[in-house]
Amino acid sequence: MLSIKNLHVSVGDKPILKGINLEIKAGEIHAIMGPNGSGKSTLSHVLSGKGGYTVTEGSATYQGKDLLEMAPEIRAREGLFLAFQYPVEIPGVSNIYLLKAALNSIRKHNGQPEVDAMDFLTLVKEKVRLLEMDEKFLYRAVNEGFSGGEKKRNEILQMAILEPKLCIMDETDSGLDIDALKIVSEGVNSLRSPERSFVMVTHYQRLLDYIKPDFVHVLANGQIVKSGGPELALELEEKGYSWVENNQAAA
Amino acid sequence: MNTATASRYAAEYPTIASALPGQTLPWLKALRAEALIAFSAHGFPSPREEEWRYTNVSGIEKKLFAPSVDLTGSDVDADWLKSYRLEDAWVLVLVNGHFSAELSVLDGLPEAVSVMSMADALAKQPDKVEKYLGAAADQSEHSFIAFNTAWFTDGLFVHVPAKLVLDKPIQLLHIVTGSDAMATTRNIIIADEMAEAKVIETYVGIDNAYLTSAVTEVFVGQNADVTLYKMQSESDKAYHFGGSYIKQARDARFTHHNFAFGGLLARSDIHADLDHASECELNGLYLGVKRQHIDNHTRINHLKPYAISRELYKGVLDDRARGVFQGRVIVAIDAQKTDSQMNNRNLLLSDDAEADTKPQLEIYADDVKCGHGVTVGQLDEKSIFYLQSRCVDEETARNMLTFAFANEMVDKIKIRSLHDKVLEQVLARFPQEGVNKEWL
Ligand SMILES: Nc1ncnc2c1ncn2[C@@H]1O[C@H](COP(=O)(O)OP(=O)(O)O)[C@@H](O)[C@H]1O
Ligand SMILES: [Mg+2]
């Protein structure tokens, strides 16, 4: 699905990612954990094509194609979805129209006809219920005036409707109370399938109680310093991030 | 001050004066004579004047625009007219500054309401016109008002008597068809106590260089309610100088929607005087492309306590276009408990576009709530990326955000047919591909 090799990324002259290696196969869930400022969002952004970053070395291959060569919207149409750490407010563009436009451009990209209006509404309403959102949110401007938790839920709503192949979730759990976290996790779990992969970027182990990862990677100072199974998250929780950072310094 | 051009206009004046309406009215003759002197002495406004510092009108001095004395030669294509005329309104059409009965639709008006051409009003209700003409627009304010007073050939006259609520809007459709023509029109709108009216001014022209000078005086009676829409969609070679001067009585409500889309150089002044607990809302949207220069000036005079004013002007400027916003709010010493908010937001789509914005608060009372804010900026890159990450290509993302920005003002239009026509204009002025009305 996704193969990242020796990825180095700078902002201006400042190196931020310093040689990331990561292999993600279809159906796998990878958690990337790390202290604030370690480069988690940078990795998410570079994979989804945000401008302002320079790849100085390395590669990222997605479904056999050079991911870094693709425009952000092409990546999205090819099934890569980023749930933002800080979703952006878009005044004047309604949530439901953005959803419909996004879904239709994916369908067009795949040579399918536009979605039928009734089918679309049924689908959207089903997902709105799944995430226990108020239908009113559909007709409001994208994220405008939403609370932090509502914005995060809205990201997962979009993800549930667009049915991406690779879901990158950047700190979706941050700022969610436990009830909201459970709802969001159920939403994510309902999307799990052998064809779909997840990269869950998180600062807290708590999320992993609800969404069981296959692999856990620890990112520190722009590098993956440790990889393991779910037990690594627990160990990290116990010993704190200073443990891996010290390890790295020693190495 | 440049009076050379003014003298050229003044020299021509006697040749048309006898054809102007109201020649038999001594008060009007005197008023016009006074205006002519004021204009001749001053000339067109110069950028040295504070209120004209961003707008150089010297372009109009290269030409001598000619007023037409009657309706002859004013053929208007019926299909073209259709795209501007509202179906569900009473429509008064002025062509090159003259009332066209043939193109107007005024039947079915309630008996007590007067909607007629200014020339008709001067013939039938001269005393009423005398009472109101010049009562809101101060000739000494700037020389375009004097110019307008001296030269106006016709206009719209509306009087809605007390407690009458008009169920359909009135549209003034102002058309200029002549090349190097000049259309000078004067409008009066009176809503007596508790009356309600909606008036739409539409300014359009055939693809020519011409000059429109239009002054509208609005009198909103006690607890009355007037909404005035202005859709300025002049030809892209035209000069437009328009002013709306409003006097609000106690508890009167006035709302203005100013859509400034056309003209090579277009300037609008909107001045409102507020009485005790009046409410005034000024909305504006200006779109500039190519080398358009679009200037909007607003002034809100809070003269008495408890009045509320809300103002939002938005501008979208592309290519080498320039937008000017000067907004003044003046709170008189007696106007305690004034509540006023003024905002101007500008979106620049090109490096060569320019926005000059100058909000001014002059507050002489001490117990008031007044705020203002201005922004001049580009499309937000974070928003563009967010849309791209949701499958929208970059150009469409930019168009969506631009339209969403402008559409906030279009959405405030409460008359459906007008809303759709204005939206059409907005879409036509940004010819990029991929914009879907459904996005909005
Ligand atoms: N646009 C930028 N300009 C300069 N520094 C940046 C920029 N984006 C991120 N950084 C820096 O890169 C490092 C990693 O940031 P980020 O990827 O946001 O970390 P995380 O998401 O793990 O908290 C931080 O030191 C941050 O200050
Ligand atoms: Mg982050």
Which residues are within 8 A (CB) of A238 and not within 5 positions of it... i.e. 6 or more apart? none
Domain positions in chain A are 2-250
pLDDT score of B439 more than 70:
no
Return the residue whose CA atom lies nearest to atom 25 of ligand 1.
Answer: A37
- The string of pLDDT tens digits covering residues A11-35 is 999 999 999 999 999 999 999 999 8
CA B327 to CA B314: how far, in whole Å? 12
Quick count: other Cβ atoms within 10 Å of Cβ A156? 24
**Which residue, B158, B154, B162, is CA-closest to B132?**
B158
Q: How far is the CA of A87 from the centre of ligand 1 (A)?
A: 17
pLDDT score of B367 more than 80:
yes
Structure tokens at B313: 């002007």
Pocket test for ligand 1, best of A7, A8, A20, A41 (most atoms within 8 A of CB): A41
CA A5 to CA B330: how far, in whole Å? 65
> Which of B37-46, B57-66, B335-344 is predicted most confidently?
B335-344
Report, as an integer, the average pLDDT of A94-107.
93
Closest in A90, A100, A101 to B404, CB measured:
A90
Cβ(A26)–Cβ(A19) below 8 Å = no
Query: CB of A105 within 8 Å of any CB in chain B?
Result: yes
Quick count: other Cβ atoms within 10 Å of Cβ A18? 18
Which residues are within 8 A (CB) of B97 and not within 5 positions of it... i.e. 6 or more apart? B67, B68, B152, B153, B154, B176, B182, B183, B184, B185
Query: CB of B135 within 8 Å of any CB in chain A?
Result: no
**A85 to chain B: nearest residue by CA?**
B386
What letter represents residue B317's amino acid? L
Cβ(B67)–Cβ(B151) below 8 Å = yes
CA B393 to CA B388: how far, in whole Å? 6
- Interstrand relation of A29-33 and A197-202 (parallel, antiparallel or unpaired): parallel
Query: CB of B199 within 8 Å of any CB in chain A?
Result: no
pLDDT of residue B71: 78
Query: CB of A92 within 8 Å of any CB in chain B?
Result: yes
pLDDT score of B433 more than 70:
no
Q: How far is the CA of B86 from the centre of ligand 1 (A)?
A: 55
Element (H, E) at B119: helix B118-124
pLDDT of residue A249: 53
**Which residue, B388, B382, B401, B394, is CA-closest to A86?**
B382
What are the CA-CA distances from residue B345 to residues A222, B8, B268, B409 (Å)? 40, 40, 17, 12
- The string of pLDDT tens digits covering residues B250-302 is 999 999 999 999 999 999 999 999 999 999 999 999 999 999 999 999 999 99
pLDDT of residue B107: 93
Query: CB of A87 within 8 Å of any CB in chain B?
Result: yes
pLDDT score of B440 more than 50:
no
Pocket test for ligand 1, best of A42, A84, A221 (most atoms within 8 A of CB): A42
Report, as an integer, the average pLDDT of B94-123.
96
Q: What does pLDDT average to over chain A? A: 92
CA B159 to CA B220: how far, in whole Å? 10
pLDDT of residue B49: 85
What percent of chain B is predicted at pLDDT more than 70? 97
Report, as an integer, the average pLDDT of A78-90.
96
Return the residue whose CA atom lies nearest to atom 1 of ligand 1.
Answer: A11
Return the residue whose CA atom lies nearest to atom 2 of ligand 1.
Answer: A11
Residues having CB within 6 Å of any atom of ligand 1:
A 11, 14, 16, 34, 36-42, 52
pLDDT score of B43 more than 90:
no
Strand residue runs (E) in A120-196: 141-142, 166-170
pLDDT of residue A251: 46
Residue A145 C-alpha, separation from nearest chain B C-alpha, in angstroms: 15
pLDDT of residue A250: 47
- Cβ of A49 and B389 within 8 Å? yes
CA A188 to CA A197: how far, in whole Å? 11
Share of chain A residues as helix, strand and coil, in percent rounded to the nearest 5: 40, 30, 30
- Cβ of B391 and A87 within 8 Å? no
Q: Does the structure's ipTM exceed the value 0.90?
A: yes
pLDDT score of B167 more than 50:
yes
CA B292 to CA B235: how far, in whole Å? 11
- The string of pLDDT tens digits covering residues A101-154 is 999 999 999 999 999 999 999 999 999 999 989 999 999 999 999 998 899 999
In Å, how far from its chain's centre is CA A142? 18
pLDDT of residue B312: 98
CA B235 to CA B193: how far, in whole Å? 38
Closest in A88, A97, A106 to B383, CB measured:
A88
Task: Reply yes or no on domain A2-250 having CATH 3.40.50.300.
Answer: yes
pLDDT of residue B432: 54
pLDDT of residue B113: 97
3-state class of A209 per DSSP?
A: helix
Structure tokens at B301: 């005079």
pLDDT of residue B42: 87
pLDDT of residue A14: 95
CA B346 to CA B355: how far, in whole Å? 7
pLDDT of residue B67: 86
Query: CB of B35 within 8 Å of any CB in chain A?
Result: no
Query: CB of A102 within 8 Å of any CB in chain B?
Result: yes
CA A232 to CA A230: how far, in whole Å? 5
**Which residue, B385, B167, B305, is CA-closest to A84?**
B385
Q: What does pLDDT average to over chain B? A: 93
Query: CB of B405 within 8 Å of any CB in chain A?
Result: yes
pLDDT of residue B78: 84
Ligand nearest to the CA of A35: 1
pLDDT score of B112 more than 60:
yes
pLDDT of residue B129: 98
Return the ∠ at Cα B432 (arms to B430 and B433), rounded to 5°.
135
pLDDT of residue B68: 84
> Can you tell me which residue has the tokens 């007008």?
B418
Length reported for chain B: 440
- Cβ of B388 and A76 within 8 Å? yes
Report, as an integer, the average pLDDT of B375-398.
95
- The string of pLDDT tens digits covering residues B171-217 is 999 999 988 999 999 999 999 999 999 999 999 999 889 999 999 99
* Residue A232 main-chain phi, psi, to 5 deg: -65, -35
Write out the DSSP string of B83-107: TTS-TTSEEEEEETTEE-TTT-B-T
pLDDT score of B424 more than 60:
yes
Pocket test for ligand 1, best of A11, A17, A199, A225 (most atoms within 8 A of CB): A11
> Which of A73-77, A206-210, B61-65 is predicted most confidently?
A73-77
* Residue B261 main-chain phi, psi, to 5 deg: -115, -30
CA B330 to CA A212: how far, in whole Å? 64
Which residues of chain A from 136 to 175 reach within 8 Å of chain B, CB to CB? 141-142, 158, 162
Which residues are within 8 A (CB) of A118 and not within 5 positions of it... i.e. 6 or more apart? none
3-state class of A31 per DSSP?
A: strand
> Which comes out higher in pLDDT, residue A73 or A230?
A73
Element (H, E) at A157: helix A148-162
Report, as an integer, the average pLDDT of B50-67.
84
Element (H, E) at B266: strand B265-274
pLDDT of residue B436: 57
> Which comes out higher in pLDDT, residue B29 or B77?
B29
Return the residue whose CA atom lies nearest to atom 24 of ligand 1.
Answer: A37
Sign (positive/negative) of CA torsion A127, A129, A133, A139? positive
Query: Exposed (0-12), middle (13-18) or buried (19+): which is A240, by Cβ within 10 Å?
Result: exposed
What letter represents residue B271's amino acid? H
pLDDT score of A243 more than 90:
no
Report, as an integer, the average pLDDT of A215-243.
88
CA B241 to CA B264: how far, in whole Å? 11
